[in-house]
């Protein structure tokens, strides 16, 4: 019974295929006024309005699907663009940071050439890893310590000039007291052959320094350079070697009936933006300066 049904279905399928081939052949071979063309036009005329109505009815649905597709595509493109912008921004920041680091390294490498007097010292480069939370920028912490040869009272510099001195040391870190700290004082000379005084922080202005104990009769001009004096009397010495640039004179006020001038100094080193410094380790012992 089942096999007979299968044979009938196959015969029907073959018959339909044969009829379709005959109709197609007749359709292409007869004239436009033939019966098959006439039937085709009649069917088209009957179903064309139905197709148009269906097309109009389905248009909102098609538009809705198209809107979803376009919205999803737009969101995908937007997310991709945001990702690309974030990636480019990160690359730009990394490039600018690397450029700044390279500039600082270049300055650090030039220190031995610009300061021949530091040839007796070993320079240990450290990165600033912590800053003082106060507005006075009194100290910073670097990632080098006693394991790198760093000791208390070692002078600290960068490519621009004097930064401060080491006040506390662990095996892997060291605390640097900046020259703007109220407990710090540096013996300094006005170059090229001017008088010697003491550089101290300017109270109320942590970004600037004062040069004290300069007699009112001394001629001090704006933009003159200050460097560490590095004095020693055989028993007491300055913690800083001589010849390290400190800053430049911004103003000098002799005043009236005053023994000493009030001289303002702008430090060469930008103590707010320290990233890398060098510690002067080793070198000749300075009498009275504990290591």
If you average pLDDT over every residue of the chain, what do you get? Answer: 77
- Region of 164 (left: φ > 0; alpha: ψ -120 to 50; beta: rest) is left
Q: Which residues on neighbouring strands pair with residue 209, listed in sequence order?
A: 201, 265
Rounded distance between C-alpha atoms, residue 139 and residue 261, angstroms: 28
What global pTM score does this model have? 0.61
| Residues 81-139: tens digit of each pLDDT | 777 776 666 666 555 555 555 555 455 555 555 565 677 888 999 999 998 876 555 89
**Contact present, 229 and 246 (Cβ < 8 Å):** no
* pLDDT for res 253: 84
Q: What is the pLDDT of residues 151-207, one digit of tens each?
A: 999 999 998 899 999 999 999 999 999 998 888 889 999 988 889 999 998 876 767
H/E stretch holding 248? strand 245-253
Residue indicated by tokens 């279905």: 9
State the first-to-last Cα distance of the chain, in angstroms, to the nearest integer.
112
pLDDT of residue 224: 93
β-pairing, 196-202 vs 205-212, is antiparallel
Place of tokens 């197609």: 24
Nearest to 138 by CA among 164, 112, 111, 170: 164
What whole-number percentage of the chain has pLDDT above 70?
A: 61
Per-residue pLDDT of 128-162, as tens digits, reads: 999 887 655 589 999 999 999 999 999 999 988 99
Q: Which two tokens stand for residue 11?
A: 């015969």
What is the H or E stretch that residue 25 is in?
helix 2-29
Question: Alpha carbon 66 to chain centroid distance?
Answer: 43
For residue range 220-274, list pLDDT tens digits in order: 899 999 999 887 766 677 888 888 999 999 998 876 667 888 899 999 998 888 8
One-character DSSP codes across 208-224: EEEEES-BTTS---TT-
Whether pLDDT at 284 is above 90 = no
pLDDT at 76 over 70: no
């Amino acid at each position: 019974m089942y096999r007979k049904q299968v044979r009938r279905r196959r015969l029907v399928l073959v018959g339909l295929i044969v009829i379709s081939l005959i109709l197609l052949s007749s359709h292409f071979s007869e004239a436009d006024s033939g019966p098959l063309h006439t039937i085709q036009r009649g069917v088209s005329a009957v179903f064309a309005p139905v197709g148009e109505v269906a097309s109009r009815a389905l248009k909102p649905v098609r538009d809705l699907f198209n809107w979803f597709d376009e919205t999803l595509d737009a969101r995908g493109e937007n997310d991709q663009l945001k990702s690309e912008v974030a990636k480019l921004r990160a690359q730009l920041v990394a490039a600018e940071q690397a450029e700044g680091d390279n500039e600082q390294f270049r300055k650090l490498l030039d220190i031995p050439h610009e300061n021949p007097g530091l040839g007796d010292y070993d320079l240990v480069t450290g990165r600033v890893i912590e800053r003082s939370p106060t507005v006075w920028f009194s100290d910073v912490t670097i990632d080098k310590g006693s394991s790198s040869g760093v000791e208390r009272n070692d002078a600290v510099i960068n490519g621009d000039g004097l930064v401060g001195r080491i006040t506390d040391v662990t095996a892997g870190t060291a605390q640097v007291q900046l020259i703007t700290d109220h407990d710090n004082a540096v013996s300094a000379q006005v170059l090229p052959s001017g008088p010697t005084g003491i550089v101290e922080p300017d109270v109320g202005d942590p970004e600037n320094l004062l040069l004290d104990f300069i007699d009112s009769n001394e001629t001090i001009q704006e933009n003159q350079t200050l460097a560490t004096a590095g004095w020693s009397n055989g028993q007491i010495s300055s913690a800083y070697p001589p010849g390290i640039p400190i800053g430049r004179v911004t103003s000098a006020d002799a005043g009236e009936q005053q023994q000493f001038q009030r001289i303002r100094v702008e430090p060469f080193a930008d103590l707010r933006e320290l990233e890398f410094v060098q510690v002067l380790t080793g070198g000749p012992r300075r009498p009275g300066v504990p290591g």
